[in-house]
Chain A
């Protein structure tokens, strides 16, 4: 490590005990990392235990079943269930975002304006989920005999595809809008910092190869076409 970089390193270490990027290739310097702030009692491949606050039992079953299709666990890496995406979505419902407080929500509403002019419904995320799940379950019972979560996987997949394509019609909320919200939040939960409840054990970050909150690459910018060797760290100091 060259002399002039030393003070920067010291600065960073003081701010957070983060693993510094080694200045030489492959020379990983082992530095102690602060312990994860969230106690981790989960089994491998499973999210930690969580009781939803916003969603009721039926809604929770729906969310769990749906996100498993959106980001399944597979050869590419962890899935939405094992990374705690349902917990993330439930916790988001309790934020200003969930209550629609980040958006301009004064009427009149013109829901039929062209999509390019953006979201124009009067529904906030909490309503979209509540109404969307109820409507989808009703539709499933009526057409397939069971609520969504109890259908077999092939049927669930088909229902999700029809929602995404706008082929199913709900009275309360457009099926496509509901689907897109759920998909958007699922990806957020998979890739956001673990402190928000999802991306547990940084499974989402590992899937793509993102080092999380390291955010310090001066030593790496001119190392061309070389694999970055360090796993992710989270904002609370967890090491993946």
Chain B
């Protein structure tokens, strides 16, 4: 028989970014909150102290902080009729594990949406006509506007000590920032990080071509800062070991460096690690959650009753738990019915490699996770899509992550160099100091046949079905990247380089799951305006089981050109406010269906 624990007010599945935020907000409201985290406890001083933290083999290559795929992974297929195979090794995306989640080893690129992205369908229909959106493209509005989310974006940035420069303060365009952004109510909490040499060259070239470069907002603090929770954050030292690592300088925002020092001390907060939640329990009506069941460190099944269940387990895991628990109707790509698993999307990336003349010294090991130069002129609907025949765009940036040699020392772009031997060595040595990449982070629309479901064959270590991804690249995204690649080539050329080499996927090529692209997986538990078009309402509350809330990028109806965490955290704070001010007084649906 399962062990049964005492009831808590709130149980959360996972203690990454969204879990930490919701834990903070709901303990503040006086509730007893329990976080169940499948991984280990993690902290900066114990888990990533200098110099042990700067170990490329351990972290980037063997993936010490990533999800243990031997226990649980996903399966992937390109089409609805294909057999999916397991994602056996880390490649395309790097799911998190342990306290802090992916928020411990992320980069810190911390963006807000462009306002039109939250009203994707209505904006495009209005501007270009209904026919502009292809029939199998299942994009929709979030059901919440930029204006509504603005205060929560602002607060998230303050919690994370984000460095940057405002370009639009309360509707007034100010010099130095991004003039295309939605109006901000306040400046960034810390000034922009310093541009490295390569970023300074890209910045100038973007400007020369007529674009509007701005310092990329980075949750890598540029100066000492105390966040609204009273946690002190120190300045980044450009160490070059950000993405895939914990920050030994306590500068990169993570739950550990911004929230947990306060939250873990609260008497009404508890975290249990090595607790793998396997399902949300429902009462006989199926309309109310009674808590969750998890497997503890000793392999025992434990029942944890709670009044409120928050899925804060990351996009993929949230969707899987909904499917495993029978909450909501699973999506069927043939009939188009059901919503759980619907609108799974990812990001479509490319780059422009610029080789500067011999003798150039970029010192590529001087890097950060998120700092550099960006531009939004080709993002979302900031340019006329009418004659181009595609929807979407990309945020574009040059960020130098570091020059870690196992993964970041490549051969000379555009040359057919052997993969080994003296020629390989010579080419790596030559390229290391004088090449740079301008990254193109492209949006991906939602399609009728791209979705998430349970795999019929493969199981995790507990015998539960793995999540199955059905996704491949579509023509719309191919056109988008081709267009943007051509435009950005001009920026590369404006740097007076030795050469510019585009790294743009061929339209029609398949998703290569072996190569890291981003961990920006979205959809599957999408938000919207009615139970017919979404799994959760604008407060991330399940339409089917109103005492279940689902956080993270699973809520995005389509992917965007930006990194997701800005929107993920803003949505969490937006939801927290509604829970605190409305739901607790009157537990029930916050939006009437």
Contact = CB atoms under 8 A, between A and B. Distances in A.
Given A101-B70, A217-B238, A217-B365, A71 B425 contact: yes
A75 B91 CA distance: 34
The residue among B77, B91, B419 with the most chain A CB atoms within 10 A of its own CB is B419
Interface in A163-186: 164, 183, 186
Nearest to A8: B237
A74 B511 contact: no
Interface stretch (B194-202, B209-217, B445-453, B584-592): B194-202
B192 to A, nearest CB: 12
A217 B237 contact: yes
Contact of A227 (B73, B238, B361): B361
B455 to A, nearest CB: 11
Given A108-B457, A216-B239, A118 B514 contact: yes
B61 interface: yes
B55 interface: yes
A14 to B, nearest CB: 10
B240 A215 contact: yes
A118 B87 contact: yes
The residue among A113, A116, A117 with the most chain B CB atoms within 10 A of its own CB is A117
Interface in B50-85: 50-57, 61-63, 68-70, 72-73, 76-77, 83, 85
Given A71-B420, A76-B422, A104-B87, A193 B55 contact: yes
Contacts of A207: 425, 428-429
B235 A226 contact: no
Interface in A190-240: 191-193, 196, 204-205, 207-211, 213-218, 220-222, 224-228, 235
Interface stretch (B100-108, B403-411, B528-536): B403-411
B233 to A, nearest CB: 14
Interface string A107-122: 0101001111111100
A143 interface: no
A52 interface: no
A209 B458 CA distance: 45
Contacts of B72: 104
A213 B59 CA distance: 14
Interface in B221-250: 234-241, 248
B428 A208 contact: yes
A114 B88 contact: no
Contact of A218 (B200, B237, B248): B237
A103 B87 CA distance: 9
B475 interface: no
A77 B429 contact: yes
Nearest to B240: A215
Contact of A119 (B63, B89, B428): B89
A118 B89 contact: yes
A208 B403 CA distance: 10
Nearest to B245: A215
Nearest to B510: A116
A213 B54 contact: yes
B57 A215 contact: no
B512 interface: yes
Nearest to A188: B406
A215 B248 CA distance: 10
Nearest to A108: B457
Contacts, number: 177
Contacts of A224: 197, 200
B123 interface: no
Contacts of A36: none
A30 interface: no
B361 A225 contact: yes
B28 to A, nearest CB: 32
A196 B200 CA distance: 37
The residue among A8, A69, A208 with the most chain B CB atoms within 10 A of its own CB is A208
B487 to A, nearest CB: 27
B70 A118 contact: no
A75 B237 CA distance: 34
Nearest to B62: A97
A214 B241 CA distance: 10
Interface string A125-166: 000000000000000000000000000000000000000100
Contact of A120 (B69, B88, B426): B88
A61 interface: no
Interface in A46-100: 69-72, 74-77, 95, 97
A191 B409 contact: yes
Interface of B: 49-57, 61-63, 68-70, 72-73, 76-77, 83, 85-89, 91, 194-197, 200, 234-241, 248, 360-361, 363, 365-366, 403-406, 409, 419-422, 424-426, 428-429, 432-433, 457-459, 510-514
Given A71-B424, A210-B432, 10 more contacts: A72-B422, A74-B422, A77-B425, A104-B86, A164-B419, A193-B55, A216-B237, A217-B237, A220-B238, A235-B55
Interface of A: 8, 12, 15-16, 18, 69-72, 74-77, 95, 97, 101-106, 108, 110, 113-120, 164, 183, 186-188, 191-193, 196, 204-205, 207-211, 213-218, 220-222, 224-228, 235
16 contacts: A71-B420, A77-B425, A102-B63, A102-B68, A102-B69, A104-B72, A118-B513, A191-B56, A191-B405, A204-B405, A205-B405, A217-B238, A217-B365, A225-B361, A235-B54, A235-B55
Give the top 5 A-B pairs by smallest Cβ distance, nearest first.
A215-B239, A192-B57, A191-B405, A224-B197, A217-B366
